[in-house]
Amino acid sequence: MQKRLFLHATALAIVALAATNSVAQDNKFKIGLILPMTGQQASTGRQIEAAARLYMAQNGDTVAGKKIELIVKDDTSIPDVTKRMAQELVVNDKVNVLAGFGITPSALATAPIATQSKTPMVVMAAATSSITQASPYIVRTSFTLPQAAVAMGDWAPKNGIKKVVTLVSDYGPGIDAEKYFKERFVFNGGQVTESLRVPLRGPDFAPFLQKVRDAKPDALFVFVPSGAGAAVMKQFLERGMDKAGIKLIGTGDITDDDQLNDMGEGALGVVTSHHYAAAHPSAMNKKFVEAFGKANRGMRPNFMAVGGYDGMRVIYEALKITKGAGGGDALLAAMKGQIFESPRGPMFIDAQTRDVVQNIYLRKVEKLNGQLHNVEFDVIKDVKDPGKNK
């Protein structure tokens, strides 16, 4: 234990030391992008890397006289690996910014590295409310589960849904989704009869879904991370739960645009709340979706892609504002308070919380030009993370 503590302290000291050197770098500006490129969360990495590269292709790779270098690392979504990679990127590569972070445990494991080395850390995917509190150097461009889940807690009881069972992945974002959905739903007169949690790694949804089928609630509220939605949908439909009158609702992670079109017609009518849909009807989004598809053999961007694209925007702008001079603190200050139009709609990085303020949309799966899409039918504007008020 002593030895571990010592090693830990030494590692942090090295990271802190490296930070002082990292500012005075030649004409390069390095972004260390750590993502799950393989394993269960691989679609998150694929989407975010594609979006970051698209942003660079559209906006050039020279900003304020600095040549932008993107260093992509695959953490396989193992938090210890994420942390080690962040350390290496700071100490050896002397990156100016850390970015990516596919899942909450990876973001939380890396937070101390950002703090010690004073390196801005742009969280483009992970979405547990508390992440931004883990380091003053964290800025988030994805979303938070409380943000999305509360909207569903308002919509469901107004639409004939009174009894719900919740089913979430048993870690940060799932627990946030469960808690904030339930709180608002119960406040509005709904009843959550059971709260089920499935493991994050290698989940088997079958026994949980069987339980829900027997309980026959009006709806099943689901949160699973991006990439796991299709498996839930398949088993939900195979059990005939929709035919038994159980509606499927949740945050938009379940009808992930990366997978939605392959989920089949059984997905039609599923209502979710989220901050981004590929079908978002703005001129900017249409251009984004088209360019993203063109650069990636027809791939449809999902909410992870937009987090990566906007994260790059926040980094580029910070570099412009600081005119290529200044270290981590200056960059961080320039990231705070940014306000801009994203493919998702208007977006704001709250300077106090360093978290994203954005619209949350209610969407229903429908066919558009023969393809399954999340079609927005209502909006709650400028939603702050409700988790920050606790």
Positions that interact with ligand DHB (CB under 6 A): 44, 103-104, 125-128, 172-173, 225-226, 253
| Closer residue to ligand DHB, CB minimum distance, 116 or 128 | 128
The secondary structure of residue 75, as a DSSP letter, is -
- Looking at 71-171, list the stretches that DSSP marks H as alpha helix, in order from N- to C-terminal side: 79-91, 104-117, 145-158
Give the up-direction half-sphere exposure of residue 18: CA atoms within 13 A in the CB hemisphere: 23
| Closer residue to ligand DHB, CB minimum distance, 25 or 133 | 133
CA distance 257 to 278: 7
**Minimum CB distance to ligand DHB, residue 41 (Å):** 6
Q: 69 - beta bridge partners? A: 30
CB 175 within 8 A of CB 233: no
The secondary structure of residue 245, as a DSSP letter, is T
**Minimum CB distance to ligand DHB, residue 383 (Å):** 16
| Closer residue to ligand DHB, CB minimum distance, 22 or 374 | 374
CB 81 within 8 A of CB 41: no
Residue 266, token pair as written in the block:
């059984």
**Minimum CB distance to ligand DHB, residue 130 (Å):** 10
N- to C-terminal Cα separation, the chain: 35
Contacts of 89 (CB under 8 A, 6+ apart): 30, 32, 34, 71, 73, 95, 98
What 3-state DSSP class applies to 372?
strand
| Closer residue to ligand DHB, CB minimum distance, 77 or 322 | 77
Contacts of 165 (CB under 8 A, 6+ apart): 192, 193, 194, 195, 196, 211, 212, 215, 217, 219, 220, 221
| Closer residue to ligand DHB, CB minimum distance, 116 or 132 | 132
Residue 338, token pair as written in the block:
């940014």
**Minimum CB distance to ligand DHB, residue 173 (Å):** 4
Q: 70 - beta bridge partners? A: 31
Contacts of 305 (CB under 8 A, 6+ apart): 47, 48, 50, 51, 292
Please give the residue whose beta carbon sits closest to ligand DHB in the complex: 225
| Closer residue to ligand DHB, CB minimum distance, 40 or 359 | 40
CA distance 316 to 55: 10
**Minimum CB distance to ligand DHB, residue 304 (Å):** 7
**Minimum CB distance to ligand DHB, residue 123 (Å):** 9
Q: 165 - beta bridge partners? A: 194, 220
**CA nearest neighbour of 27 among 69, 55, 71:** 69
CA distance 279 to 343: 10
